[in-house]
Structure 1
Amino acid sequence: MLFLLPPSETKLDGGSVGSRLDVAALSFDELEGPRRASLALLDEMSADVSAAAVALKLGPTQAHEVERNQLVTVSPTMPALARYTGVLFDPLDVGLLGDDAWNWAHRHVVVHSALLGLLRAGDEIPAYRLSHDSKVPGTSLKKLWRGPVSEVLAGVDELVVDLRSEGYVGLGPTGPRSTYVRVVSDAGDRRRALNHFNKKSKGLFVRALLTDRPELRDIGDLTHWAHGRGFVLEPGDETVLVAESVLAASV
């Protein structure tokens, strides 16, 4: 079973001394072509700092993000799951993960990057700034990624649990062996979609998976494990995850 996460706009600086991006070493080598095309577009866009700031929707205090992009192929790398920060990724506490958890994560957790496509948890990547809706020269990220990512996901021979935001789903819909997870708030008489606690709930949900490292074959196994954890997870046309259950069980 694969758990597919969106990336975060915020990322840690730094990485292993002497390291740099090795595109050919990344997982899902079918994506090497669009990865190199994406990097070339980022390099072209970053040549004009002012235009890049507009394309990336950066404020006046965020010029360093363009500098990051200018150095993306030579800056140091770290595992993808450690690179991303923010509301979804902070609950993972990756600095506290042991070898078994990292091995499980690399096998089962995939992050969908707007720059590099699908990344397994341990894939070594640099800091960068590019979002699903960033404006790149001469084309769009949807045109670049949608076909190749969808083809890879359609070929995955296991259930894909899609925890991405809808913007990243647009960069590569999943195949028939998948379920989209929608996080909701249970207000008693009605349910509503969430934003901030949507991300936090997903982070806590994945953290519980990294802690337990269950053997999961299908949505029934996932639902059974989740209920044992106190999470309300309801399969259907979309899989519903009730945020209050995750937040309460993780206190």
Structure 2
Amino acid sequence: MRLLLPPSETKRDGGNGAPLDLTRLAHPELTGLRRQLVDRVVALADDPDAMMRALRLGPRLASEVDRNRRLRETPTMPAIDRYTGVLFDALDAGSLDDASRSFAAETVVVHSALFGFVGALDPVPAYRLSHDSRVPGIALRRHWRSALAGRLTDDRGVTVDLRSEGYAELGPLPRRVDSVFVRIVSIGADGRRRALNHFNKQAKGRFTRALLESRPELASVDGLIDWAARKGFTLEVRDGSAVGPHELELVA
């Protein structure tokens, strides 16, 4: 099984790992693309105003420029611990037991705008870059799309995509029977289904934690749906909706 997570804009400071070493990240075939983008982002940080425009940051977030300027020098920590925000707070990776963290290392991929796909326990620094950031000389969609789509095509087994649509555009999921994009919805009093915003991320975090704690062996998407039902999640394909055969809805 492969579980794809979006990153978070917010990240913890600090860490006790050695500074960034791109060769220690999963998917070494991405190292060249990572190095190109890291070089460009670090150089851009020498011009704070240009960096602020590229990242679409207001004055209160000026410290993010320094994070990017020093991202090769600052300590690292496992990716799953670095990211904060609603999804990762609900996941609460720091409280997972060793077996669950080991399972995360085998199954979880976080989609970073800066590093592409990183493993859950890959050592990464604090940085700031989003899927819609404008880095002069590098269009992120063009930079990542082919390589990341190829990486997903090469994967075997069930792939569960919990990314936002913006990140999914940087590395499209292959249209295979064992690859599914999961949307989070709620059901109102009128019976209509609506997409969620804040609680979308919270539901993804809870769902991910349940998978890591349960550590199921899933041979198919049907197996994923059955597992979810046993754990109290409503995960389904709806007939007669915009949800296609490669998409599921998780009712939160």
Would the TM-score normalized by the shorter structure come out above 0.5?
Answer: yes
Query: 1:112 is paired with a residue of what secondary structure?
Result: strand
The offset of 1:59, in angstroms, is 1.2
Q: Which amino acid aligns with 1:151?
A: G
User: Is 1:95 the equivalent of 2:94?
Assistant: yes
Instruction: Tell me the equivalent position of 1:173.
Output: 172
Deviations 1:132-179 (A, max 9, x none): 000001131111111111111111012211100000011110113311
The offset of 1:203, in angstroms, is 0.4
Native 8 Å contact 2:144 2:170 kept in 1? yes
Query: 1:138 is paired with a residue of what secondary structure?
Result: coil
TM-score (norm 1): 0.94
Instruction: Tell me the equivalent position of 1:223.
Output: 225
Native 8 Å contact 2:146 2:171 kept in 1? yes
Instruction: Tell me the equivalent position of 2:251.
Output: 242
In terms of mean alpha carbon deviation, does 123-132 or 33-42 score higher? Answer: 33-42
What pairs with 1:1-251 in structure 2 (closer than 5 Å)?
Answer: 1-16=1-16, 19-177=18-176, 178-187=179-188, 188-235=190-237, 237=245, 238-243=247-252
Deviations 1:85-110 (A, max 9, x none): 00010011122112101100011111
Deviations 1:214-235 (A, max 9, x none): 1112111111110011110004
TM-score (norm 2): 0.93
Native 8 Å contact 1:44 1:137 kept in 2? no
The offset of 1:63, in angstroms, is 1.1
Instruction: Tell me the equivalent position of 2:240.
Output: none
The offset of 1:3, in angstroms, is 0.7
Native 8 Å contact 2:3 2:159 kept in 1? yes
Q: Which runs of 4+ in 1 moved over 6 A?
A: none
Aligned CA-pair RMSD: 1.1
Query: 2:110 is paired with a residue of what secondary structure?
Result: strand
Native 8 Å contact 1:30 1:152 kept in 2? no
How many residues align structurally?
A: 242
Distance (whole Å) between structure 2 residues aligned to residue 134 and residue 185 of structure 1 = 30
